[in-house]
Copies of this chain bind each other. A is one copy, B any other.
Amino acid sequence: MAQNTAREPAPDASLSRGDETRGQLLDAGLTLFSRYGYDSVTTRQLASEAGANIAAIAYHFGGKRDLYRAVLHRLVEDTEPLVGPVAQRMAEGIAAAGADKAALARVVAGFVHGFTSIFLEGDFMAHRAPMVMREYANPSQDFDILYEGRLGPIHRSVTALAAAALGMDPDSPEAKIRAHAVMGNLVVFEVAKQLLMRRTGWEAYTPDRIALVRRMITEAVLNSLRLPHPDNGDRQ
């Protein structure tokens, strides 16, 4: 029931009729699955939200489950432009820093900044983050799609960072556990967002609040990894 009566948004001429419906179904899937979970969403809701017919789901994807999988695949793909550069800079920063703790601290600050920007700022991750978190906390049979595509690679990057900061072997359980703890430091602000909102009396993240959260997380992670605090917030 999205834009059936209102004006249709940008009927991209470069897309065929079918591709557009396909894309709208993927959008609807992301919006609804992320909010209510797989079983709570009906094919009729999906079709309605997409402005398409129920039969379009079977026609374009095969079935409801196949649409869900397609949503996960597209999520991995279209978050690459955001996550890729952050991971890239982190890898380069670690290699360049060597044993220089101050340099590693700047890498950490950059990572936290990038990560919180992706997850807490803007609308792009508004549905994608909850989608990831849902599979994160409660892996379905399609958990592999996100693990291979997003979660595993990020976790490996953070493990490299933790290992460098603490002088550990990146392949050791210890390094992986410490990295896991760092990830927890970050993702809890998305996973348990409602809990923080209630405790602080906030209703949503604003730029000011994100800046405060980012400052607190950066301090916590730097402390956690025994790294010095950079004098300024500069990350280059």
Contacts and interface: CB of A to CB of B under 8 A. Distances in A.
Given A37-B39, A152-B198, A187-B188, 16 more contacts: A37-B37, A39-B39, A130-B138, A136-B137, A137-B137, A137-B138, A147-B195, A155-B195, A173-B200, A174-B212, A176-B199, A177-B216, A178-B216, A178-B220, A181-B216, A182-B220
Contacts of A156: 199
A3 B177 CA distance: 39
Interface in A183-236: 183-189, 191-192, 194-196, 198-200, 209, 212-213, 216-217, 219-221, 223-226
Interface string A154-189: 011001000000000000011011101111111111
A181 B225 contact: no
A139 interface: yes
Contacts of A128: none
Given A155-B195, A225-B223, A180 B189 contact: yes
A39 B40 CA distance: 6
A219 to B, nearest CB: 8
Nearest to A184: B188
A-side interface size class? 35 or more
Contacts of A39: 37, 39-40
B188 A180 contact: yes
What DSSP secondary structure best describes chain A's contact surface?
helix
Contacts of A68: none
A191 B37 contact: no
Q: Ordered nearest first, which 10 A-B pairs have the shortest CB separation?
A: A184-B188, A184-B184, A39-B39, A177-B216, A39-B40, A224-B224, A181-B220, A137-B137, A220-B224, A139-B194
A103 interface: no
Interface string A109-147: 000000000000000000000100110111100010001
